[in-house]
Amino acid sequence: MKAGETPTRELVRDPMAFTDRVTADARDGWPVEAGRYRLVINRACPWAHRVNIVRRLMGLDEAISLAITDPIQEDIDGDAHWVFTEKTGSPGDKDPVLGIHALREAYLARRPDYTGGVSVPGLVDIPTGHLVSNDFAQLTIDFGIEWAALARPGSPVLYPEPLRDEIDALNEVVYRDVNNGVYRSGFAPHQESYDRAVTALFARLDELEERLTGQRYLVGDTITEADIRLFTTLVRFDAVYHGHFKCNIRKLIEYPALWAYARDLFQTPGFGDTTDFDHIRWHYYYVHSAINPTRVVAAGPDPRAWLTPHHRETLGGRPFGDGTPPGPPLEPVPALD
């Protein structure tokens, strides 16, 4: 849906338009190669955030460079929001590596007749300028597995084979009811669709609260894909989803286990250091003018609460298993005051 457009039907996401994979055996024609690809994200977007977290955890910061689009700036025709500006470190309003102003240019370089939507994340082939993939779900899996030869020593196993069925099953319902559920609530075209979405959302959060009361992580005793996918919704919940998307039956901070779990992850390298609350607030409140026509951006909540003690370590578990945390990020976000 375009910015400012009023929803007239329930939110149904279009299938990913570009689903080629970069793999160790180059079976789709795209080989794993350090320095060849550029990951285009927006720090406000939860789907892009999860890919950037995996990139950080696996230590692929130097192998896959990062491009950050402006949180609110529109393209010249007012149709695209994933554009590069000097405000986010792109001289002359063009990405210094790809030489483009809008991510749509990489879509069109790959498929000149493309007329569909543009989304982040986007993995772009630097030599050709072609978009390789905007498949956010597959990108995280591949960054953790296919790029293993270029991963840092001590990188975690985020999708362990013995737990994949459980991770996949949990990811499916979390995506349906939580990750996408907040959007289905926020962009509901009528009361009935809103009621369905928000009821399913909080029923699932209640279940997750119970699950996390007695265990530190969602599946197993280390961080996995499941935790990363839930975190990027939780970290945005009170800041934008609770008010802006009318997901206001409860706040995240009213869930003892979920709130402590989210803080535990936030304080783990790779999570909080890739989170930019200013980008999140400004993008959601400003860009979604159909549901916030005044474009007034909410001031809170105070993000410093994310740094308070969580005590989740008493449940056991090891964030990185037998591995180690990543070093400092190459592209740090502003520190919390």
69-124 confidence digits (pLDDT tens): 999 987 655 556 799 999 988 999 999 999 999 999 999 999 999 999 999 999 99
Count of domains for the chain: 2
Closest CA to 43 of 14, 100, 82: 82
- Residues labelled catalytic: 45, 183
90, 119, 150 - which closes a domain:
150
Identify whether 155 is part of a domain: no
Cβ-contact 143, 55 below 8 angstroms: yes
Identify whether 126 is part of a domain: yes
| Parent domain of 274 | 162-315
CATH code of the domain in which 272 resides:
1.20.1050.10
Closest CA to 39 of 68, 66, 69: 66
pLDDT at site 6: 53
pLDDT at site 15: 75
Identify whether 53 is part of a domain: yes
pLDDT average, residue stretch 2-19: 67
Closest CA to 60 of 160, 142, 133: 142
Give the model's confidence band at 2: pLDDT under 50 very low, under 70 low, under 90 confident, else very high. Answer: very low
* E runs forming strands in 87-225: 122-125, 130-133
Q: Are residues 184 and 280 in the same domain?
A: yes
Q: Are residues 123 and 193 in the same domain?
A: no
Closest CA to 204 of 163, 164, 165, 233: 233
Predicted structure pTM score: 0.95
Please check if 147 is assigned to a binding site.
no
CA 170 to chain centre: 17
Cβ-contact 296, 286 below 8 angstroms: no
Q: 33 Cβ partners below 8 Å, 6+ apart? A: none
CATH code of the domain in which 132 resides:
3.40.30.10
Q: How many CB atoms lie within 10 A of CB 234?
A: 23
Mean pLDDT of the chain: 94
**Which is more confident, 335 or 72?**
72
Tokens of 264: 């535990």
pLDDT at site 265: 98
Give 324: exposed, middle or buried? Use CB within 10 Å, 0-12, 13-18, 19+: middle
Q: Dihedral (C-alpha) 250, 285, 335, 34: value to the nearest 10 degrees?
A: 110
